[in-house]
Amino acid sequence: MTRILLVDDHTIVRNGLKLLLNKHFPEFRIDESYSIKDAMNHLASDEYDLLVLDYQLQDGNALDLIKNMRWREKTPRIMILTAFDDEKIIYQCIQQGVCGILLKTSEVKKIIDGISTVMDGSSYFDETIMEKLTCYVTKKEMVKEILNPNETKILLLLSKGLSNRAIADEMFMSEKTIRNYLSVIYERINVKNRIEAVIYFQKNLQN
């Protein structure tokens, strides 16, 4: 028997989705969970074929749950059904092996088609989400072309809160060289100071 676990901390959403799936997939067993902790308890006692997750949960998010499942020999396929359409979140979810992402505002047919497609072993992503993802990935690649590897690493170290002296030690360069690098980096990415540079890195280069 195919088994699906719905994970959403909003009872009305969870119950409505269960009714919908029971109607279209009467042969499936549909269980419900309201948090990461509760979902992990379900996963410890039962084997599931598919997890349908909200991204934001009361004790974390979908990525936290996915990371907590890493210890399992067999992991279910994962689909995100969420109100969030942030391209960075989408990118991170796909990197972690999510097979499908749909918005909660999606039509019923799209939700059913999506779940069927993912259950059949393929991927399914909302068109709007794919457009955002394409723009995000394209932007990341363009940023990588703007900065060379040394400049990218300096930005990474800067984002970790390292001082110029500490960055210089890490890069085996002089502090003056690092200051020169930072001047060039600020100009290339059109920022004025360290804080803006860190924000730029987090938004455009950090996974």
Global pTM exceeds 0.75: no
CA distances from 103 to 77, 125, 127, 167, 178 (A): 18, 9, 10, 42, 44
HEC-encoded secondary structure of 177-199: HHHHHHHHHHHHHCCCCHHHHHH
**Which stretch of DSSP H or E encloses residue 68?**
helix 62-68
Residue 12: its pLDDT value, please?
92
Instruction: Identify the band that residue 10 occupies on the pLDDT scale cut at 50, 70 and 90.
Output: very high
d(CA 113, CA 57): 24
Helix (H) / strand (E) element for 7: namely strand 3-7
| pLDDT, tens digit, 9 for 90 and up, residues 34-89 | 999 999 999 988 899 999 999 999 999 999 998 888 776 778 999 999 887 787 88
Cβ atoms of residues 101 and 79 within 8 Å: yes
Q: What is the pLDDT of residues 140-166, one digit of tens each?
A: 666 667 788 888 899 899 888 898 999
Whether 124 and 113 have beta carbons less than 8 Å apart is answered as yes
- Each residue's pLDDT tens digit, 106-135: 899 999 999 999 998 888 888 888 777 777
**Cα angle 128, 113, 23; round to 5:** 130
Give strand ranges (E) for 46-119.
50-53, 56-57, 60-61, 77-82, 100-103
Q: How confident is the model at residue 32 (pLDDT cuts 50, 70, 90)?
A: very high
**Model confidence at 181: pLDDT above 80:** yes
Which strands sit side by side in the sheet containing 50-53, from one edge to the other?
29-33, 3-7, 50-53, 77-82, 100-103, 124-125
**pLDDT reported for residue 200:** 82
Domains of the chain in start order, with CATH, are: 3-136 (3.40.50.2300), 147-204 (1.10.10.10)
pLDDT of res. 141: 67
